[in-house]
Amino acid sequence: MSVKLGKAAGMTEAQLWELFQAAVIHDIGAFSWREKESLLAFNLHNPWEHCTRGYLILNRSGAFQPLAAIIQAHHDHWAGNNPSGFRKNGIPLASRIIHLTDRVDVLIQEEKNILDQGPHILAQIRPFAGKVFDPELVALLAESAWQESFWLDLVSPWSAEQLVTLVPAPRVTDQINTLVDLARLFAGVVDATNPFTYRHSRGVAMVAELLAEKLNFSPADQSLLKIAGLLHDLGKLTVPVEILEKPGRLTPTECNLIKRHPYYTYWLLRPVWQNHRLANWAAYHHESLNGHGYPFHLTAPDLDTGSRLVKVADVFTALREDRPYRDNLPWAGIEQVFGRHIARQSIDRNIATVLFDHRHDIDYFWDELTSELLPKT
């Protein structure tokens, strides 16, 4: 809907591409399922908190930083009185479009024939023109919505094919750096669900990239291991925030919910990197050489150096961070824990040795990362 409305509003191809990207991730700042569900109500009270969180995530995301202002204002009211300070045409056009189409979307009832709903949806939108929504966009929406195909496209099984023809995607010339920025964006979302893990994925990525360099991986594979580190906990987006933030001991049922996350990481990444080990590198970080890891219970022959390396980076980073039940461990404490892992043959001794041989480099990068990402009070 956003792209169609953007075309009707005369947006350029570059503006449409930016609009499409922002529309896809407009609720990136909504972390809990409770908050996501609350956004399904048509009339929202103070909807801007998740807009601000989304803005903060995107504002330091490299290639996607230009989307930050759009996300910040995507619930701004046309008449003003918004936290952003924007009003009327001062609100980014992409924000105004996403706001309108988002509210149209929440009015759609899946169990009813979509063609029966169009007139009723427009009737609910029109009274807010000039108050909540840009009146010119509401008029453009009404012009577009007289076509049955406008509504049928919203429930079409061919929506992916339609988007390919609608969205003027630019040619990506720097694919690795773009992938790193995209992975960093997702990592920011995953880590922000818990105040104790605000730097976890970036920490794993930092250590994985450093270990890959010291172990003479190619520059391309060093970058891919960095991406694997950034995305290794992607599956945690399927775990309720309440469990991730629980300060006490988890119940067996809660532990089982946590244990699902590397499985989901694998299957979220596998279709994208079908012919590469990146999905394995990201998803096998809870596997053990002795076969007692989870969720696949792989053994040493199944785990290549990249997978073992990400596990070392993940274990180290978790120990280096504060947790609700303990403070971060100094190097001596980390060595003790690694010693127990090595004795159980659950972690690669040689990669752990490389980690400890370069502790000064890691300390330097860790301090930089902390200062960059430390939550502001």
User: According to the model, what pLDDT value does residue 264 have?
Assistant: 95
* Dihedral sign from CA coordinates of 328, 332, 337, 342: positive
Q: Which two tokens stand for residue 331?
A: 């190097």
Q: Which two tokens stand for residue 4?
A: 């169609």
DSSP 109: -
Angle, nearest 10°, between helix axes 219-231 and 175-191? 20
Residues paired with 323 in a beta bridge: 326
Give yes or no for a cis peptide into 247 (omega within 30° of 0): no
User: According to the model, what pLDDT value does residue 174 have?
Assistant: 60
Nearest Cα residue to 71 out of 32, 124, 121, 24:
24
Ramachandran angles phi, psi of 265, nearest 5°: -55, -45
Nearest Cα residue to 347 out of 317, 307, 296, 297:
307
Q: Decide: helix, strand or coil at residue 323.
A: strand
- For every residue of 10-60, DSSP letters joined together read T--HHHHHHHHHHHHTTTTT--SHHHHHHTTSSS-SSTTHHHHHHHHHHTT
Angle, nearest 10°, between helix axes 305-320 and 331-343? 140
Distances (CA, A) of 22 to 15, 132, 311: 11, 20, 33
The structural domains of the chain, ordered by start, are 2-166 (1.10.3210.10), 175-373 (1.10.3210.10)
Rounded Cα distance between 20 and 238, Å, is 24
**Residues 204, 236: contact at Cβ < 8 Å?**
no
Per-residue pLDDT of the chain (377 residues; tens, 9 = 90+): 999 999 999 999 999 999 999 999 999 998 777 888 889 899 888 899 999 999 988 987 778 899 999 999 999 999 999 999 999 999 999 999 999 999 999 999 989 999 999 999 999 999 999 999 999 999 999 999 999 999 999 988 888 788 878 887 776 556 777 788 888 888 888 887 776 777 899 999 999 999 999 999 999 999 999 999 999 999 998 888 888 878 778 899 999 999 999 999 999 998 877 667 999 999 999 999 999 999 999 999 999 999 999 999 999 999 999 876 678 899 999 999 999 999 999 999 999 999 999 999 999 999 988 887 655 44
Burial label for 6, CB within 10 Å (0-12, 13-18, 19+), is: buried
Nearest Cα residue to 224 out of 302, 284, 171, 276:
276
The number of beta carbons lying within 10 Å of the beta carbon of residue 250 is 12
> CA angle, corner 7, sides to 4 and 13, nearest 5?
115
Nearest Cα residue to 42 out of 113, 105, 126, 110:
105
- As a whole number of Å, the CA-based R_g of the chain is 23
**Residues 262, 212: contact at Cβ < 8 Å?**
no
User: According to the model, what pLDDT value does residue 127 have?
Assistant: 97
Residues paired with 133 in a beta bridge: 129
Q: Decide: helix, strand or coil at residue 369.
A: helix
